[in-house]
Structure 1
Amino acid sequence: MTATDWTPVFVLPNIPLEAAIGCEIAALAPAHDPRVRTLKRAHPSFRRFLSRFADNFGEKFEPSVLLLNTVAPPTFCDVAALASFRDLIALSAITRGRALELQHPRGHRVLFGEAFAIYPWMLDRHYEDVIGSTPAILGTHELSRFKGQSSPALFRTSLGENDIDQPLLASLMARWRRRYEVGEPARENVALMRSLNMAYHASLLPAGTETTFYDVGRVVSLWVSAFEILVHPGGNGQANRDKVFEMIERTCWAKAGSGQLAHDTGGKTKVKRTLASWLYQMLYECRNDFLHGNPVERGNLVLPTPQRTIFEYAAPLYRIALTAFLPLTYNVPRPSAEDARALGADIIDHMDFMRPQKSAEAALLTATRPPTGRAARRARITRPAP
């Protein structure tokens, strides 16, 4: 496959990539990717389009480009398929970033979905004019007058291979292909793409400068919906809290502390469940309070021990749910013990596969520990008044 086999579909100005992410059907690629460079040489107007982006302070950059294989089946050309492709990449990065941030707070990680926002203006298929298309606008304009910008609401934070949950990405990419390569996809694959769409929107900034705790409560509600979509049985069936508990409890835990049935998740029947289920219970109660109009205050969002908001735990908890749903298991046959080199390579591969799972579990376990260091200082500053 050569670089000329690809066509640019969208640009994403908020996420600088170190390398391309994708498969032989679609890819999210940086401007220095050979396929993008070939397109820039073949279409000077495309090169000029990419060169006309700057941040809010005039610093020039070239955006990332969502590429589609020119011979991709028509079902992959639909905007729903392309949006799902973006969603799965975004969640593979955000769940990883949130897990690391809970363990080692330092900022400058990809934590919000706006990093993967698709720019509303793009060159037309003839590489002549720019076209703007959203539910609010539809129009064309001259390329010579175009000035693209990144979002004013977040920094352009670079994304590398280690910033992405690679086992999750690979599994979601395979499910994406199975969802859109057939006319009648399996119900669970439709549910997965729908859940990823909800989770992507849950990962967006709650609001702008005017963010209130009501906005955060609303976003928590979207996270709960993302979990419920995964467990909906279809038809006239129902998705509820207990079904989400069942899914979470199917997880093959990598850390002993994660699997301890030591947490009361409420209800008439007192059942001890894992910490992950307890955190989902906190999300669930928060959703109910905010969406049903119950009396709420900032403290409704804060977990007492770590003095962090429940919102911060939603993404790594969603990764745990996906671990059970997909499921994410290392199924490579173990080489013979007599082949030391192959056995050593397999051990390394297994460790790499399990690293994001362990990180997600370690992130959830911070909910049982008081904050330290920078997190402690932030807790003292942001702790709600009694």
Structure 2
Amino acid sequence: MTAADWTPIFVLPNIPLDAAIGCEVAALAPANDHRVAGLKRTHPTLRRFLNRFADNFGQKFEPSVLILDAAAPPIFRDVAALASFRDLIALSAITHGRALELRHPHGHRVLFGEAFAIYPWMLDRHYEDVIGSTSAILGTHELSRFKGQSSPALFRTSLGESDIDQPLLAALMARWRRRYEAAEPAWEDVALMRSLNMAYHASLLPAGTDTTFYDVGRVISLWVSAFEILVHPGGNGQANRDKVFEMIERTCWAKAESGLLAHDTGGKTKVKRTLASWLYQMLYECRNDFLHGNPVERDNLILPTPQRTIFEYAAPLYRIALTAFLPLTYDVPMPSAEDARALGGYIADRMDFMGPQKSTEEALLTATRPPASHTARRTRVIRPAR
């Protein structure tokens, strides 16, 4: 497809991309992607618009661009479809980043949803003026006066292929297309998109410099809602804690330790469940305490053994829920052992597919281990461009 076959819809200034992420219908692409480069040649005002971005210290950059197939059905132009597309990419990166962060702390990873925030100003469809549109503003201005900026609240952390849970991304992308291509979408596809929307907002920074533990408790409540939306049966049915347990317990575990029924999840009937269900119970109890106004302290957020907040486990635990919901299983038949090349390819492909699942389970298992003896604070030195 040529540049003329694509339409720029939004820009995302907080997430530098190594390569485009998407499908035949839509893509999140860096400014040097051949489709975006072609659009810049065809529409010089788009090039000027993208060149007018800088961070808070004046370092210039070109933002990533959400582009849409110009021939896509009208439903894909709806903001709900576009936001869902952003949500699934964000969650494929954040769940993976959080899992890696639990295992190997203090890396420079994409951990918060603000990285995928859509900028409120964009060129109009005639590539002339810039238009700002949110629930609070609706206005237009001259491009020559425009100065775009990235968020002051987080670093622009580059996102590459290895930073994304690729099996999850592929499955969610397929479900996204099925949801919005269907004349009457299935309830489970609608529920999935709603859950991803809730999870995306749960992944945002709890607050800014003024963050308190109350803010973290509020965000945890959004994570619990994301789980509950997944298990809602539709109609007059109900979603509750036990249904989330049932979903989690259906997971096909990559590590035997993850499937051990060794954890008491409370309730009148004493039932031993997996570590993942126990962590959800901790999230659930935390949500109830914070939202119902029960007395709370900072310690309500802390898991005793690892001395980490339950908030840090929410995103990897959500990946486990998606594993069971979708489900994410490697169903390719194993070739004959006599065909060494085919068998080797099968083993390599299966390892690639199961890698993020294994990483997620290893991240959850850190909840059973004491904290490391040394900690460090994530910092980045920002120097003027030369």
- After TM superposition, the score normalised by the length of structure 1 is 0.97
Deviation at 1:91, TM superposition (A): 0.1
Q: Spell out the pairing of 1:13-24 with structure 2 (5 A cutoff).
A: 13-24=13-24
* 2:65 partner SS: strand
Superposition TM-score, scaled by structure 2 size? 0.97
Residue 384 of structure 2: aligned partner: none
Amino acid at match of 2:156: R
User: 1:51-108: CA deviations, max 9, x gaps?
Assistant: 0000000000000000000000111110000000000000000000000000000231
Matched residue type, 2:361: E
Aligned residue in 2 for 1:228:
228
1:175 aligns with 2:171: no
Query: What amino acid is aligned across from residue 130 of structure 1 in structure 2?
Result: V
Overall identity of the aligned pairs, in %: 87
* C-alpha deviation, 1:26, in angstroms: 0.1
Match of 1:87 in 2: 87
Match of 2:304 in 1: 304
CA offset digits 1:318-371 (Å, max 9, x no partner): 000000000000011222222211110110000000000000000000000001
Query: What corresponds to 1:194 in structure 2?
Result: 194
Aligned to 2:135: 135
When the two structures are aligned, how many residues end up with a matched partner? 378
Q: Give unpaired runs (5+ residues) of structure 2.
A: 379-386
Write the deviation string for residues 3-60 of structure 1: whole angstroms up to 9, x where unpaired: 3211100000000000000000000000110000000000000000000000000000
How far the C-alpha of 1:377 sits from its partner, in A, is 9.0
Say if 1:105 and 1:374, in contact at 8 Å, map to a contact too: no
What is the CA distance between 1:376 and its match in structure 2?
A: 8.8
Q: String of CA shifts for 1:174-218, please: whole Å, max 9, x gaps.
A: 000000001210000000000000000000000000000000000
Asked if 1 retains the 8 angstrom alpha-carbon contact of 2:301 and 2:311, the reply is: yes
Structure 1 match to 2:210: 210
Distance 2:64 2:237 in 1: 41
Measured against aligned partners, the alpha-carbon deviations of 1:257-287 in whole angstroms (never above 9, x if no partner) come to 1000000000000000000000000000000
1:304 and 1:333 map into 2 onto residues whose CA distance is: 43
Structure 1 runs of 4+ aligned residues shifted over 6 Å read none
Unaligned regions of 5+ residues in structure 1, if any? 379-386
What is the match of residue 241 of structure 1? Answer: 241
Distance, in Å, in 2 between the alignment partners of 1:335 and 1:263 is 38
Q: CA deviation at 1:243?
A: 0.2
The answer to whether the 8 Å contact 2:106/2:376 transfers is no
> How many Å separate the matches in 2 of 1:377 and 1:61?
27
CA RMSD of aligned residues (A): 1.1
Write the mapping of 1:265-280 to structure 2, written as runs, cut at 5 A. Answer: 265-280=265-280
**Residue-by-residue CA offset, 1:267-318 (whole Å, 9 max, x unaligned):** 0000000000000000000000000000001000000000000000000000
Whole-angstrom CA distance in 1 between matches of 2:99 and 2:120: 30
Alpha-carbon distance in 2 for matches of 1:102, 1:7: 39
Structure 1: how far apart are the matches of 2:114 and 2:246? 32
2:53 maps to 53
Q: How big is the shift at 1:158?
A: 0.2
Partner of 2:114: 114
Alignment partner, residue 41 of structure 2: 41
